[in-house]
Structure 1
Amino acid sequence: MPPVPDLVTAAAPAPGSLLSGGPAAAPAADAGAARGAETPPAELDRALSELGDAALGFARMPPREKASLLRALLPGLLAAARPQVEASCAAAGLDPGSAAAGEAWLAGPCATLAQVRLLAEALEDVAARGRPRLRRGAVRARPDGRVEVDVFPAGLKDAALHGPLRARVLMQPGATRAGVLEAQAPFYRQRDPEGGVALVLGAGGAASVPLRDALHKLFVDGRVVALAASPESAPLGALLERALAPLVSRGLLRFVYGGADAAAYLAAHPAVAEVHVTGAAAAHDALVWGPPGPQQAGRRASGERLLHKPITSVLGGVRPVLVMPWLYGRDELWFQVRLLASRVVSSASLGDPAAHVLVLPRGFVQRPLLFRMLHRALAAVPPRRAVHPEAEARHAALTAGRPPLERERLEGSADAPLPPGVVRIGEAGPGAPPWTLIAGLSASDPAEPLFSTEPLCGVLSIVEVGSSDPVEFLEAAVRLCNDRLQGSLGASIVAHPISEEDPAVGAALDRALLELRYGVVAVNQAPAAAHALVVPPWGGHPSATLADIQSGLGFVHNTAMLAQVEKTLLRAPLTTFARPPSSCDHRRSHVVGERLAACAADPRWGNVARVAAAALRG
């Protein structure tokens, strides 16, 4: 059976933030929450008390018992998958029976079910041999002495489902091959762990994002979890609470609801030992440094924190796509342009694959062809409802004062720089801004808002740097990404494999992969593939600080339980023989997603074959 490429790079519809009070698709807790009510303070206190009572026992629960607990979650989560997808589609205005619903399947239930099963397998390994299993030869030293760990694929079934997609983890400087193995699963190396209560503030992308972070806190970090979300997420709450009954009934997981006041109350509560934030950097900074304004700036400058607890976070940010100069075949360029368009489409729903800034080489001879293809791909998808409550205002602010740009000028000769302006594609509808290209940005402009603002909707800006020389381009593009763009979550590079046969170009690409300050760097793939696979670590680059948080501190997922992680590196071929189900023009993406959810829970060969059959018919 031929491998099926790229099954997991689309994202589910996006909710808003607990801290911003926007709509959310995260799980809810109880009947009161199901009516959209905030959890009263007395119930918050009771939930934290119940979690505290269970914390020590859970911390010292044998790994094999935890693995059994995880496996007990699979039937309930699988039964809840379709209703979860339907709720996500309703929030985004999508037909749950259409191919567009594949986004909700792939980044929602599929990824959560895979995480639960993979964590169970990892803990069974911990019980048997002290650490999660890695393939023979997975830990290796690079020629420069840095250590990398191959984490995906782990076996034949991974290869059958995901084709030639590869993921490896670059460890921090100073890590050694022996040290990587000795440091795996650090929580489970403690003799008598104390555990504690972790608060997970849910926000952002797919419905399963805060839930998956909570599962990481539970089974990798050994904490019991209070998962907080905005009341608007409540319609899904009772459903997921039933699915997670083995955790809820033991007092290991509690769902609570509220806005910014509830978040601040919970974070400061003495029963909470640590805090994990998802969503926007502004929400994180408000907790750590106080409300925006001069006092926040003063506290940040002096290091005077308001919250003196361990804090981890996975936050948003501006995500670039770099296109290395090369004479690509038309089919090769069309394949990558369709993936780029799919990322723009998913960003209308705040999907993790969202692409925000397209970085092109100056004088790129295929620039006109690229833009003709991009217009064609986006025009084939009607503009979608922007789920985030601030999306339309953000779209208006980012396009204000910029002149309209005729499509013909955007697709004009590559000999001249791109003219500045805005190209709108598709007919806007209620709550659905058109797909928008914003051209002619200056890489030297430190005040460019598109370099510092996540659009929250289908906006792709374009900037040209360097030259048509691949080495010069990569050097200039890395400087732009590291020095100008806000965020450190994910970056991607489109690279022709033949170009790497030139030793100078191959070395320049390797340097770029090392130097880009992002937690995930992907070649010919969306960084969000790492998020959906759940095996690789997912998070911002560790160069961030609490004062300059970028896309957060700490990694989640990471089912190999690696310590000293610097970044995840993804590699995919320039093209694959079949249309990826993550592509917005895949005709059976929703069927692939539903079958992949079943396969994630039970990866027998028959289920793998059913996924492949649907994927190849797209």
Structure 2
Amino acid sequence: MTSATAATPGLTDAERASLDTAIDELETGSRTWSALGVGQRATLLRAVRTAVAASAEEWAHTAAMSKGLNGSHPLRGEEWLAGPYSVLGALDAYIETLSRLAEGRNPLEGLQLGRAPGGRTTVHAFPLTGIDKVLLSGFTGEVWLTPGTTPRSARAGAGLAQRTPTESGGVGLVLGAGNVTSIPVLDVLYELLAHNRVALLKVNPTQDALVPIFEHALAALIEPGFLRIVRGSGETGAFLTAHKKLVHVHITGSAATFDTIVWGTGAAGKRRRRENRPQLKKPITAELGGVSPIIVVPGEWTDADLTFHAEHIATMRLQNCGHNCIAGQVVIMSSDWAQRDAFRVALRRAYAKAPERPIWYPGSGDRMQQASDDYPDALVLGDRLLVEISDGDDATALQSTEYFAPVLGVVEVAGAGQTFLDAAIAYANDELQGTLGANLLIDPATQESLGTGFGRAIAELHYGSIAINAWTAFGFITPTLTWGAFPGNTIDEVGSGLSVVHNALLLDNVERSVVRGPFRPFPRSLPMANGGGRFTILPKPPWFVTARTGAVVSEGLTRFRATGGILGLAKTLFQALRA
């Protein structure tokens, strides 16, 4: 028998044999993968792209229905952007990187490299195409490398395993996320390209309905033995993580699941942890979520600013019903802000009026009940909770529990300007669980008044993804940025995870990614009205849960990404202006 164990509770002999066969086929496929040149891999990804484009409509519709969003639901567009749109963008970016390497060019050729506080090199990673500069005007993104990484070493390391394509990374296991449909596919692509590792993908049971679509979209990877997709329960996962022929595990999920894999459960798991004797005998990487802050820097905001960013925050929490590892959970405001009461009113209104939708992710109902028990005085607004922490309230549960459900909290710290910003960042770093992503809202005049202190403060915000006047989900969906926890975690204290994914420029020595967006939407983003801020053509981004035309715009953008077509894009932009 080739498997790690002779028997696994809950699995039949036939199921174990089938998994063994899939792994044996992947071992053969890993040798084929190592024989492919970088240019051949780019050609292969083009075939994958064609199939993903052809599968996009069925993919988005199946995902929406599995989450209780029917064909007329106003939030169904989420499944276009978080599914096929994200994968198509990643494929385009990886194809560009591989094509450059195949031509003997560096992935960073022509890209702007800069500096950030603390001796950090930055890579301007978005936008890199003309169409992104237009459609997503006002949004930029950069990757910050670890302190001491020079521009020369950044260029030397770009490409990762594609610099040595004949060196096989073996066969790895990807335990797919159950909440966002692009995640399993993006994780598989990163295994192949960053590590030269072919992959066995075990989908989460919440995505079983998508397996036939994945098999069609990824057929060009499955047929040569570079990928196998399997369904299964926790018993299947346990069998695979222990399998001797699988050399690596990557998981997107919860810290509790990570600990079960690494240490085991019950008294035996506690003993292994205490003795530093993990049951997992192979390397593991992970993306595990956390409690994400939304820092609201006080300034002089117009009524329209208050309304827009209240809806912005509602989106950060309520997109995908809060079942996101990057959902904003704790709003950090200034107790000294003259507009604090007005903003609280705007936030309550925006949070309450967002379209209702099912709480669909397994266990989220229990977490909602937990939040109700933790905070019995929380505001119940439809199908969601708003927890406003007052003097004397215990914020511990809000700070340490990733509710993964429509639960939003509001806390206050004192101060204005730099004093507030430094205090809010210290609160986020020291009090909130995890380091995956942090969001910050600041008006242009206040940011300008802070000068270099603003950049220094951002450097002190220890999160793997930071969004300034944007939501960190923009970083997730941008393939040339990186996604993962701030460096420094270990299997003993895993926090939000280990290592990064996405990273289509295949950069080494990554510390974080930083997204910057426009404070004011169109037409208030026009130079005569934006107060020195960034111009954008978007009146309201289609991912806002309050965007009236978000569904049709998200679908239109995905179709344009898939097949092009100026007429279709023009219609989509017209609908965007009606948002």
Select 1:571's aligned residue among 507, 512, 516.
516
Which residue of structure 2 aligns with residue 436 of structure 1?
385
Give runs of aligned pairs for residues 574-589 of structure 1, distance below 5 A.
Answer: 574-577=519-522, 578-589=539-550
Does 2:420 align with 1:473? yes
For 1:615, the equivalent position in structure 2 comes to 576
- Superposed, which structure 2 residues align to 1:479-558 within 5 Å? 479-502=426-449, 505-558=450-503
8 Å CA contact 2:553, 2:576 repeated in 1: yes
Q: Does the CA contact (< 8 Å) of 1:77 and 1:113 recur in 2?
A: yes
Residue number in structure 2 paired with 1:342: 315
Aligned counterparts of 1:39 and 1:132: Cα–Cα separation in 2: 45
Q: 8 Å contact 1:140–1:149 — kept in the other structure?
A: yes
Deviation at 1:556, TM superposition (A): 0.7
SS of the residue aligned with 2:244? coil
Q: Does 1:263 align with 2:208?
A: no
CA distance in 2, matches of 1:39, 1:116: 35
Deviation at 1:178, TM superposition (A): 0.6
Output the amino acid matched with 1:569.
V
Q: For 1:490 and 1:401, how far apart are their aligned partners in 2?
A: 24
With a CA cutoff of 8 Å and minimum separation of 6, indicate the structure with the bigger relative contact order: 1
The structural deviation recorded for 1:77 is: 1.2
2:224 corresponds to which of 242, 250, 274: 250
DSSP 3-state at the match of 2:331: strand
1:64 to 32, 39, 42: 39
1:83 aligns with 2:30: no
The Cα of 1:269 is off from its aligned counterpart by 0.9
CA distance in structure 1 between the aligned counterparts of 2:174 and 2:501, rounded to whole angstroms: 12
Q: 1:378 aligns with which of 327, 341, 351?
A: 351
Q: RMSD of the TM alignment (CA)?
A: 2.2
Partner of 2:110: 135
**Compared with structure 1, are the counterparts of its residues 139 and 378 closer, same or farther at alpha carbon in structure 2 (3 Å cutoff)?**
same
Q: Percent identity?
A: 32
Question: Which of 38, 45, 49 does residue 74 from structure 1 map onto?
Answer: 49
How far off its partner does 1:89 sit? 1.6
Question: 1:59 touches 1:194 (CA, 8 Å); kept in 2?
Answer: yes
Of 7, 12, 16, the residue aligned with 1:41 is 16
Give how far 1:603 is off: 5.0
User: 2:532 aligns to what?
Assistant: none
Shift of 1:67: 0.8
Q: Which moved more, 1:179-188 or 1:200-209?
A: 200-209
Structure 1 contact 70–120 (Cα < 8 Å) conserved: yes
> Residue 69 of structure 2 is aligned with which of 91, 94, 97?
94
For the residues of structure 2 that align with 1:325 and 1:126, how far apart are their CA atoms?
46
One-letter amino acid of the counterpart of residue 424, structure 1: V
Alignment CA distance shift 1:224-1:436 (3 Å): same
Which residue number in structure 1 is paired with residue 99 of structure 2? 124
SS of equivalent to 1:100: coil
Q: 1:347 to 1:495 in 2, by over 3 A?
A: same
- In structure 2, how many angstroms separate the alpha carbons of the residues matched to 1:401 and 1:551? 23
**8 Å CA contact retained: 2:175, 2:204:** no
444 and 270 in structure 1: CA distance in 2 versus 1, 3 angstrom threshold: farther
Which segments of 5 or more consecutive residues in structure 2 lack a partner in the other structure?
A: 1-11, 523-538
Quote the offset at 1:57 in angstroms.
2.0
Structure 2 match to 1:593: 554
Residue in structure 2 matched with residue 450 of structure 1 by the alignment:
398
Contact 2:165/2:196 (8 A) holds in 1: no
Task: Identify the match of residue 223 of structure 1 among 180, 188, 197.
Answer: 197
> In structure 2, how many angstroms separate the alpha carbons of the residues matched to 1:507 and 1:444?
35
Task: Check whether the contact 1:58–1:252 (CA below 8 A) recurs between aligned residues.
Answer: yes
The equivalences for 1:419-430 within 5 A come to 422-426=378-382
Kindly tell me the number of residue pairs found equivalent between the two proteins.
Answer: 552
Equivalent AA in structure 2 for residue 518 of structure 1: Y
Note if contact 1:38-1:258 (Cα within 8 Å) is conserved in structure 2.
no
Residues 1:399 and 2:360 aligned together: no
1:154 aligns with 2:137: no
Would you say the 8 A contact 2:201–2:228 is kept in 1? yes
C-alpha contact (below 8 Å) 2:116/2:455 kept by paired residues: no
CA distance in 2, matches of 1:401, 1:114: 41
Offset of residue 299 of structure 1 = 3.0
The answer to whether residue 183 in structure 2 is matched with residue 209 in structure 1 is: yes
543-552 vs 505-514, greater mean Cα deviation: 505-514
Q: 2:161·2:193 contact (CA, 8 Å) conserved in 1?
A: no
Q: 1:353 to 1:402 in 2, by over 3 A?
A: closer
Give SS of 1:101's match: coil
Q: Deviations over 1:438-493 (max 9, x none)?
A: 11167996x811111111211101111132x2222122212221122111110011
Distance 1:507 1:452 in 2: 32
Structure 1 residue 305: Cα displacement: 1.6
Shift of 1:184: 0.5
Which secondary structure does the structure 1 equivalent of 2:131 belong to?
A: helix
Specify whether residues 326 and 301 from structure 1 end up closer, same or farther in structure 2 by C-alpha distance, changes over 3 A only. farther
SS of alignment partner, residue 399 of structure 1: helix
| Shift in CA distance, 305/209, structure 1 to aligned 2, threshold 3 Å | same
Aligned counterparts of 1:613 and 1:372: Cα–Cα separation in 2 = 32
User: Secondary structure at 1:386's aligned position in 2?
Assistant: coil
Q: Residue 603 and residue 216 in structure 1: after superposition, are their counterparts in 2 closer, same or farther (change >3 A)?
A: farther
Give the AA of the match of 2:263. Answer: W
> Matched residue of 2:375: which SS?
coil
In structure 1, the partner of 2:258 is 284
> Helix, strand or coil: the match of 1:456?
coil
